[in-house]
Chain A
Amino acid sequence: MRGEPERRFFFRGRPRSFRDGETLLAALSRESVPLLHRSVQYHRPQGAFCGIGHCTGCLVRVNGRPNVRACRHEPAEGDVVSTENAWPSASVDLLAAIGFFAPGGVDTLHGLRRPTFATPIYQRLVRRLAGTGEPPTSEAARALVAPPVDRSCEVAIVGGGDAGRAVAAALVARGVRPVVLERRLRPPAVAGADVVPATTAVFLPAPPEGAQRRFSLLAFAEPARGVRLDVRSVVLATGGYDAALLFRGNDRPGVLSADGALELAGPDARHLPFRRAVVVGGGMRTAQVIERCGDSVEAVVALGEIRPEVVRAASDLGILLYPRSLLLEAVGRRRVRAVRLRARGSGSPSTLPCDAIVLAHRRVPNSQLFFQAGAKMDWRPGVGAYFPNVGADGTTSVPGLFAAGFVAGVAPDAYSSVAELLASAIVETTARAPTTPDRAVPPSPPTELLGYYRELLRVPGHGRWVVCPCVDVLLSEVEDAVRSGYRGIEVIKRYTSLGTGICQGRYCLPDALLLLSILENRPPSDVGYITQRPPVVPTPLAAFAGFPAMTATEDSP
């Protein structure tokens, strides 16, 4: 313990130690992460997947507050932590019998409606089984009350990563002191800028028309302090995240996004949550994972080709390479023990023993705030996602709204040069630079994503794969909906409940758009998109309740 005083929280009644600056998930994973979560309907074991506060995998109850993300919570002395929605516990959960007795899923859309007199009984049962946790206690709510931050500033930058910090520095050099909202709990500082840590921007409405256009940006600081900025210019440097992938058992403990693997590993890779991982992907993100955790990587499995630099790095470390592969299954009942895959096109399945599957195959942008603000968006087939339409100087179709970094389609080596142009555009309020549609698409492996999903839909038994782990929606439910004549992502969402859970479609939507494109036989951009509703991440009511009452302005839209 390097002389640190022993500090303890209680996990399911047992004391566990933690260190300063460590998240609950990191503290639990130092030995090995106990099973924290079960899927909401079928009670499959679920693991911490994203590591950055979006998925359902590490939701626990802390001091009477449900749905706390273990990866976002820094424990305090004496914290009482328990698991939820499992009986008697997440590690031994008898409710998993639901999945056992109804292997094809429970049809709550058509089933459980007859005889009519029995419906109140079904309803009581289903209500009892639904819901991730018991309601919060009054004490838990009281502990969250914090006075809000309500201030105005000239420039706000959302995202304090490399791109956001480059813009901040360029603005400081021009005499502007920007406010930088950063979601990470302990971000690095920027000289001359106000970096607000642990703060997530959740709502950026389109500004009202008129000469005095200003943005009203809503955010919250962990755990529940409301933050409202009245601001003239907003720079969104919200970056991207590693997407999920469809295969059997894709939410099993041990399946991690590259975000999650890197977050849990920490900058010095001291506490790797695996010893022999299989990394999925053949591009730059895979290279990053190998660079940080290479000694604990067993194999690289790519949906398409593997880039030469990844091949070089892997062969130096004796890592096996499986290009052009189809992932079939995460093997292992309570956590990943192996991965089953086969070569694309044909071939018989083979099994690779491993203790983790790290998904680094596809990085998609955090575009939510651009959608909310009404910015013009472009579909990028190579990535399979929408990016804002951005000018060379970071301007978007919304005056006063700028984009920087990955989300703007800028490659990392150009962050600082674009930041200079962007800062000048903000300070000088020049006319919008012309859009350059063929900008460097962010690095992503040429996976021919649609071809991959087409092949995946021919795998026998794929109907039982989980397409939305938050709400437990099976792929067969999506196929049934399309077969019944429902079309478009907005209707499929309402028909199947896909994308209505804790992550609000962040992890199922990138898959679902491609699947629907194939099932409906039209391009992904014609399938539509789920309206990006506020808040971007679940936000405690306490954070919004702290603001004083407001009245609408007459000229607002």
Chain B
Amino acid sequence: MTFGRGSYRTVVVGAGIVGLFTAYHLARAGGGPVLVVDRGFLSSGASGRNGGGVRQQWETRGTVRLAHEAVQAYRRFGREFGFNIWFRQTGYLFLAENATELARLRTVHDVVSAEGLSSKVLDASGVARLVDGIAPGAVVGGTFLESDGTLYPFPAIWGVYEVARSLGVEVALGVEALGIEVRDGRVAGVLTSKGPVGTPTVVNAAGGWSGEFSRRAGLEVPNVATRHEILATEAMKPFLDPMVVRASDGLYFSQSMRGEIIGGVKVPHRPGTARGQPTSPEFLPTMARALVGLIPRLGAIGVLRAWSGFYDDTPDGFPVIGEDPRLPGFVHANGFGGHGFMLAPATSRRVAFVVLGQPTDLDPAQFSPSRFRAPTAAAAAERLQLG
């Protein structure tokens, strides 16, 4: 028998950080039995392909609050989940190349400060003190929040996976969710590559493939999978503490606990979600130029490997969290736009509330699945889709 049971209270599609945290919170709240299916191996999607950044600098206060809650959860992670995720709060540094960019960063700084976080606005010399070896004249300033940080994504996956399983969650890897079984206008089960399974609730936490899965359920959604690429260099002794981010070209990088520079940059979009997720010919030269242009001495360090993964983007840059009004029982936990790891501990708790029919504090204009069909006049947007 493929699955432990014939039916579940909830089936979560996607065993990434969002899906696993959701299953964990459901199991803790007594919302079991829960089944998580994933077509790949553990950590094969974006949760195992990201740069490990966790920040609280956002353009909207709602997101700042969620991110702050996530930071607190990651601080407790080692104690609660038994794995060391090396969550290092050595800050996120946003770079501004000109006065316009600095002005824009200031508005973010104001939002972050209003939430009580001690963000700082830096001039060029302040930035140079944080980035050893930065090219003279590369920036005019930046913003810095020290309680942001980086973590090592893999042990976070193992930790939530193991604790969720110890709470009775069943995780079926290598099992693809093919579609939804609908009865009386609501979810009745999930069709998988290993046969059907009954459930009144399905959570779409499929990351880069969530748009595809929603469409398989007959739901038109605006989610777009965008490929992003990243590399790791040879390991060096520590010389860089913060995660460094530049909005103009989407450059971001940090130095990992092991000493590698890990980071990426935006390259021209190539449509499609090829399963192999190959590196593009443009990425290595583009990233090398950006990195060496900013810190010239890095030219003499070797690139070890490059890889890519998919962001699950939405038109306004906010995630989609909530039950789809067109199909009762179909719950979205997707559209994180490359920020699933940063927000998952906070958002997944709320996804569990949604599944259990309890109210959440999420602003529907910002997070609800129906916002795309009836956008409000003064809709906000999150444009800081970086690192």
Residues of A137-169 whose CB lies within 8 A of B? 137-138, 140-145
Cα of A146 to Cα of B233 in the assembled complex, Å: 20
Residues of B338-355 whose CB lies within 8 A of A? none
- Of the candidates B78, B237, B278, the one having the most CB atoms from chain A within 10 angstroms of its own CB is B237
Quick check: B257 and A141 within 8 Å, CB to CB?
Answer: no
A203 near B: Cβ within 8 Å?
yes
Residues of A88-143 whose CB lies within 8 A of B? 108-114, 116, 119-120, 123, 126-128, 130-138, 140-143
Quick check: A109 and B84 within 8 Å, CB to CB?
Answer: yes
Quick check: B43 and A491 within 8 Å, CB to CB?
Answer: yes
Q: Which partner residue on chain A sits nearest B276 by CB separation?
A: A374
Quick check: B297 and A141 within 8 Å, CB to CB?
Answer: yes
Cα of A540 to Cα of B299 in the assembled complex, Å: 6
**Partner of A542 from B82, B259, B292, B306 at Cβ < 8 Å:** B292
Q: Assign chain B's interface to a size class.
A: 35 or more
A66 near B: Cβ within 8 Å?
yes
Instruction: Specify which chain A residues have a CB less than 8 angstroms from the CB of B269 in the assembled complex.
Output: 552
**Partner of B302 from A110, A226, A540 at Cβ < 8 Å:** A540
Quick check: A65 and B270 within 8 Å, CB to CB?
Answer: no
9-residue interface stretch from A176-184, A440-448, A454-462, A530-538: A530-538
In angstroms, how far is the closest chain A Cβ from the Cβ of B87? 8
Quick check: A138 and B133 within 8 Å, CB to CB?
Answer: yes
A218 near B: Cβ within 8 Å?
yes
Quick check: A491 and B42 within 8 Å, CB to CB?
Answer: yes
Quick check: A534 and B302 within 8 Å, CB to CB?
Answer: no
Instruction: Specify which chain A residues have a CB less than 8 angstroms from the CB of B236 in the assembled complex.
Output: 66, 131-135
Quick check: B237 and A141 within 8 Å, CB to CB?
Answer: no
In angstroms, how far is the closest chain B Cβ from the Cβ of A205? 5
B378 near A: Cβ within 8 Å?
no
Instruction: Specify which chain B residues have a CB less than 8 angstroms from the CB of A490 in the assembled complex.
Output: 41, 44
In angstroms, how far is the closest chain A Cβ from the Cβ of B289? 5
A14 near B: Cβ within 8 Å?
no
- Known A-B contacts A66-B234, A127-B238, A535-B303; A494 and B297 likewise in contact (beta carbons under 8 Å): no
Residues of B267-304 whose CB lies within 8 A of A? 267-270, 272, 274, 276, 278-282, 284-289, 291-293, 296-304
- Known A-B contacts A109-B155, A502-B234, A556-B280; A123 and B88 likewise in contact (beta carbons under 8 Å): yes
Cα of A40 to Cα of B43 in the assembled complex, Å: 26
Quick check: B270 and A552 within 8 Å, CB to CB?
Answer: yes
Quick check: B78 and A206 within 8 Å, CB to CB?
Answer: no
Quick check: A533 and B306 within 8 Å, CB to CB?
Answer: yes
- Known A-B contacts A131-B258, A491-B42, A491-B43; A116 and B284 likewise in contact (beta carbons under 8 Å): no
- Known A-B contacts A504-B304, A535-B303; A544 and B284 likewise in contact (beta carbons under 8 Å): yes
Quick check: A545 and B301 within 8 Å, CB to CB?
Answer: no
> Please, what's the 1-or-0 string for A509-542, where 1 marks a CB less than 8 Å from any CB in chain B?
0000000000000000000100101110011111
Instruction: Specify which chain A residues have a CB less than 8 angstroms from the CB of B305 in the assembled complex.
Output: 500, 504, 533-535
Q: How many residues of A contact B (CB 8 A)?
A: 75
Residues of A470-498 whose CB lies within 8 A of B? 484, 486-488, 490-491, 494-495
**Partner of B297 from A130, A135, A206, A531 at Cβ < 8 Å:** A135
Cα of A114 to Cα of B83 in the assembled complex, Å: 10
In angstroms, how far is the closest chain A Cβ from the Cβ of B53? 16
A5 near B: Cβ within 8 Å?
no
Residues of B73-108 whose CB lies within 8 A of A? 75-76, 78-79, 82-84, 86-89
In angstroms, how far is the closest chain B Cβ from the Cβ of A224? 7
In angstroms, how far is the closest chain B Cβ from the Cβ of A115? 9
Q: Which partner residue on chain B sits nearest A226 by CB separation?
A: B285
Q: Which partner residue on chain B sits nearest A215 by CB separation?
A: B281
Q: Which partner residue on chain A sits nearest B88 by CB separation?
A: A123
B372 near A: Cβ within 8 Å?
no
In angstroms, how far is the closest chain A Cβ from the Cβ of B189? 27
Instruction: Specify which chain B residues have a CB less than 8 angstroms from the CB of A114 in the assembled complex.
Output: 78-79
Instruction: Specify which chain B residues have a CB less than 8 angstroms from the CB of A233 in the assembled complex.
Output: none
B211 near A: Cβ within 8 Å?
no
A436 near B: Cβ within 8 Å?
no
Quick check: A534 and B306 within 8 Å, CB to CB?
Answer: yes
Quick check: A131 and B297 within 8 Å, CB to CB?
Answer: no
In angstroms, how far is the closest chain A Cβ from the Cβ of B45? 12
- Known A-B contacts A135-B236, A556-B280; A544 and B301 likewise in contact (beta carbons under 8 Å): no
> Please, what's the 1-or-0 string for B231-248, where 1 marks a CB less than 8 Å from any CB in chain A?
001111111000000000
Cα of A459 to Cα of B212 in the assembled complex, Å: 50
Quick check: B133 and A538 within 8 Å, CB to CB?
Answer: no
Cα of A540 to Cα of B162 in the assembled complex, Å: 39
Quick check: A112 and B84 within 8 Å, CB to CB?
Answer: yes
Instruction: Specify which chain B residues have a CB less than 8 angstroms from the CB of A431 in the assembled complex.
Output: none
Quick check: A140 and B297 within 8 Å, CB to CB?
Answer: yes
Q: Which partner residue on chain A sits nearest B302 by CB separation?
A: A538
Instruction: Specify which chain A residues have a CB less than 8 angstroms from the CB of B82 in the assembled complex.
Output: 110
Q: Which partner residue on chain A sits nearest B261 by CB separation?
A: A541
Instruction: Specify which chain A residues have a CB less than 8 angstroms from the CB of B239 in the assembled complex.
Output: 134-135
- Known A-B contacts A114-B78, A142-B296, A542-B292; A132 and B235 likewise in contact (beta carbons under 8 Å): yes
A350 near B: Cβ within 8 Å?
no
Instruction: Specify which chain B residues have a CB less than 8 angstroms from the CB of A135 in the assembled complex.
Output: 132-133, 236-237, 239, 297-298, 301
Instruction: Specify which chain B residues have a CB less than 8 angstroms from the CB of A144 in the assembled complex.
Output: 299-300
> Please, what's the 1-or-0 string for B361-381, where 1 marks a CB less than 8 Å from any CB in chain A?
000000000000000000000
Cα of A123 to Cα of B301 in the assembled complex, Å: 23
A29 near B: Cβ within 8 Å?
no
A453 near B: Cβ within 8 Å?
no
Cα of A138 to Cα of B132 in the assembled complex, Å: 11
In angstroms, how far is the closest chain B Cβ from the Cβ of A141? 4
- Of the candidates B89, B155, B284, B293, the one having the most CB atoms from chain A within 10 angstroms of its own CB is B284
Quick check: A141 and B292 within 8 Å, CB to CB?
Answer: yes
Quick check: B259 and A127 within 8 Å, CB to CB?
Answer: yes
- Known A-B contacts A110-B83, A113-B79, A547-B285; A127 and B306 likewise in contact (beta carbons under 8 Å): no
Cα of A141 to Cα of B279 in the assembled complex, Å: 25
A-B contact pairs, 17 of them (CB 8 A): A66-B236, A113-B84, A116-B75, A131-B235, A131-B238, A132-B234, A138-B296, A140-B300, A141-B300, A226-B285, A495-B158, A504-B305, A535-B284, A542-B288, A544-B284, A544-B285, A547-B289
Residues of A within 8 A of B (CB): 40, 64-67, 108-114, 116, 119-120, 123, 126-128, 130-138, 140-145, 203, 205-206, 216, 218, 224, 226, 372, 374, 484, 486-488, 490-491, 494-495, 500-502, 504, 528, 531, 533-535, 538-545, 547, 549-552, 556-557
In the complex, besides A136-B301, A549-B286, A556-B270, 17 extra interface pairs with C-beta distance below 8 angstroms are: A67-B234, A113-B79, A130-B237, A131-B258, A136-B297, A137-B300, A140-B300, A142-B296, A144-B299, A490-B44, A504-B305, A533-B306, A541-B300, A544-B284, A545-B291, A545-B292, A550-B286
7 A-B pairs with the lowest CB-CB distances in the bound complex, closest first:
A131-B259, A538-B302, A113-B78, A544-B288, A542-B299, A136-B300, A141-B299
